[in-house]
Amino acid sequence: MGKNRTSVIVGMSGGVDSSVAALLLKEHGYDVTGLFMKNWDEDDGTEYCTAKQDLEDAQKVCDQLQIKLHTANFSAEYWDNVFEEFLTQYAAGRTPNPDILCNREIKFKQFAKYAIALGSDYIATGHYARGLWENNSFKLLKGSDPLKDQTYFLLAVPSEALQYCLFPLGSLEKNSVRDIARKAGFKNSNKKDSTGICFIGERRFSEFLSRYIPEKTGLIRDVEGLTIGEHVGISYYTIGQRQGLRIGGTQNRPDLPWYVVAKKSADNELVVSQDIQDLNAKWLAAKDLNWLVTPRTTKFSAMAKIRYQQMDQECTVTPRADGTYLVSFLNPQRAISTGQFVCFYEGDLCLGGGLIDSVGGKYDAIF
């Protein structure tokens, strides 16, 4: 698990995963302390964000383990480096992934700085991933549980940050983690996994987004260019969406669902289709590549994911003169979204990944 260093600070979320991570590290002889990070300052009550309860849960576990729990507020850094980018991407008609940005900017940057300031040798998280030192080189490997592997969310974290992180849960399955928590008597052993983003919580996403991005109505057209409805702003829709389009029965059209197949930012238009095959694309272009291995400068074959928990997809990756990478898939991929990320693999080895900048869908606009 380490290189003859003993002190480690665990990012404690109040959930079962980080709790068991702290327990396992302590059992392995590490000098363990915890850190609870607050990344969002609610200004509309606490019903949407569980930070207070999560802190209480984290404190109970740390008290039980007899370890110190530090607290830190990274809300300003989160706003500047994650949330502002989140809004910028949505305003441009893209679909960002704040979880990946949060890992890069907060959990493995601000958290790491805080840990260093406290004199810690390592940080640790409850991610389902594995770190391996081989030939004096750090490698990020998939978690052993294919249903919980979280390397996709780590693709944008620089390798030099990851190499000082321990992943105690990497070889475990989720059920085993809950069993360990129950045997340890942790009150959060059956706590639900967090889903979504704290600053959105249980609210309707459109309700939240409207506080920061004003509505801007425009036309909804079908793939033949015929107007069939009106939208409230392309920022409020995602590629592949079929709910909430408010397209009623359309004359001379079958009674089938409509899907968003493209977002034309320049014209403020949504393109929709009743043919689900119109969501397919054979290629994408990625930029801002973060390599967790030696950077690839020539064409290579790999497996890839364009979303969390997707099955690995066979592809060919070709560097281009403008610094982007063309990713060509063996099989068409459904609902690829700009602003999301693509992650590359060779077996269990995570190679890194980058931001999806454009898509080769039949009806995709060039942003």
Report the candidate in 350, 310, 348 with the shortest Cα–Cα distance to residue 331: 310
Choice among 102, 165, 315, 350 that is catalytic? 102
Question: Would you state the structure tokens that stand for residue 15, as one six-digit string?
Answer: 């959930």
The pLDDT tens digits of the residues spanning 208-234 come to: 889 999 999 999 999 999 999 999 999
Tens-digit pLDDT profile for residues 266-323: 899 999 999 999 999 999 999 999 999 999 999 999 999 999 999 999 999 999 999 9
pLDDT value at residue 202: 58
169 to each of 17, 60, 62, 145, how far by Cα in Å? Answer: 8, 20, 18, 10
Asked about 102 being catalytic, the answer comes back as: yes
Residue 3 confidence (pLDDT): 43
Helices 16-27, 174-184: crossing angle, 10 deg rounding: 70
The secondary structure element, H or E, covering residue 23 is helix 16-27
Scored b (16 or more CB within 10 A) or e, 334-345 reads: bbbbbbbbbbbb
Q: Which domains does the chain show, CATH number per domain? A: 7-184 (3.40.50.620), 214-274 (2.30.30.280), 280-361 (2.40.30.10)
Does 58 have pLDDT greater than 60?
yes
Task: Average the pLDDT over 28-33 and give the result.
Answer: 96
pTM of the predicted model, to two decimals? Answer: 0.92
Residue 105 DSSP class:
I
Phi-psi region of 61 (alpha: psi -120 to 50; beta: other; left: phi over 0): alpha
Annotation says 350 is catalytic: no
Confidence grade of residue 193 (pLDDT, cut at 50, 70, 90): confident
Environment class of 160 (CB within 10 Å of its CB; exposed 0-12, middle 13-18, buried 19+): exposed
The catalytically annotated residue of 49, 62, 165, 198 is: 198
Cβ–Cβ under 8 Å, residues 308 and 153? yes
